[in-house]
Structure 1
Amino acid sequence: MEVKVLVLISLGLLLSLAEAQQEHPATSVKKCSGSKPFPLEVRVHNCVTPPCQIVKGTTQKFEIDFAVDKYITQLTTLVKATTLGIITVPYELPADVAAVCPNLQYGAYCPLYPTEDVSYLFTFPIGEYPEIGVKIEIYLVDQDNEIATCFVCDIKVVKGNGGNTVYELDYLN
């Protein structure tokens, strides 16, 4: 009886995940430098091929599917932003936004166990920044300050008029 219930629950979770992936197709993101663990899949809402146009003053949703290779009790999101190809700064997140465990999807929760794969909904607040291209690195860091997964995504911050106007800086003139 218990096995049947577990199979039905697992099947339901897989169907929910498949529906979400159809609604938001995978986004082409890049690996971080070094041998940091890469997500199974990333879905940036409304973006398949970066640079993703992100409206300033809004929030952008990222769905990050990843597997863990150790027992994890806590995960925190860290973001670094690089502009002009040379200036890299940490992008400060509010504590409730940086907390991964409360934002796991499809019934997942912490602690996470080795070989478990989960989906995390990261709601990324985009400040009132100039309309420029930015490379963002998103890290999920565990309780031991080790990286559980990491990826890089190019974005362009755009005005809130539906994203039709993109301003790029021209440094040659």
Structure 2
Amino acid sequence: MDRLATVCIALLLASASATNVRQCKNGQPYPLGVDIEGCDQLPCNVVKGGRALMKVNFVGTRDNIKQIRAVVHATALGITVPYELPEEVADVCRNLLYGASCPIEKSEDVSYNFIFDVDSSYPEISVKVQLNLVDENDESVACFITDIKVQKA
């Protein structure tokens, strides 16, 4: 399968099952689409000790992006804190779908498979989650905000 066919399939999959997420407040690029598994409407319910699976479809913002990492901030009860991700999840290039790989070129359409683990010690509250994909120059490539509701198993 050639690269164009792969991109077309990725676009169709992303647009067919997108979750309605919000744009980040600092003008970062907005992804083409986000599909949060099992969530059509916000807030997305996630189970303590489980995981939220997200496919983030985005476009390269410049040529030759060699590294992209996921940076997460969580806001609950009016307090925003960074949420540390394991390296194997934070490394976006390692988790690209449909045969894509880094470096990413400007206007190249790719999909990132993001796995958000929900610790079993989390309180059962609503949380605003911001996911920002940043390149090796700390410039945003794509950013969105979603709401989750942590629930008992």
Same fold (TM over 0.5): yes
Q: Which has the larger radius of gyration?
A: 1
Matched, 1:54 2:46: yes
Matched, 1:125 2:117: yes
User: Which residue does 2:20 correspond to in 1?
Assistant: 28
Q: What runs of 5+ residues in structure 1 fail to find an aligned partner? A: 161-173
Matched, 1:37 2:29: yes
Matched, 1:10 2:4: yes
Q: CA RMSD in A?
A: 1.6
Structure with higher RCO (Cα < 8 A, 6+ apart): 2
* TM-score of the pair, normalised by structure 2: 0.92
User: How has the CA–CA distance of structure 1 residues 138 and 112 changed in structure 2, closer, same or farther, with 3 Å as cutoff?
Assistant: same
Runs of 4+ in 1 over 3 A off after TM superposition: 19-22
Give the Cα separation in 1 of the matches to 2:127 and 2:14.
27
User: Which residue does 1:166 correspond to in 2?
Assistant: none
Alignment: residue pair count: 151
Correspondence 1:143-158 to 2 at 5 A: 143-158=136-151
Q: What runs of 5+ residues in structure 2 fail to find an aligned partner? A: none
What displacement does 1:123 show?
A: 0.9
- The 8 Å contact of residues 17 and 106 in structure 1, kept in 2 or not, is answered as no
Matched-pair identity in %: 44
* TM-score of the pair, normalised by structure 1: 0.82
More strand by percentage: 2
What displacement does 1:16 show?
A: 5.7
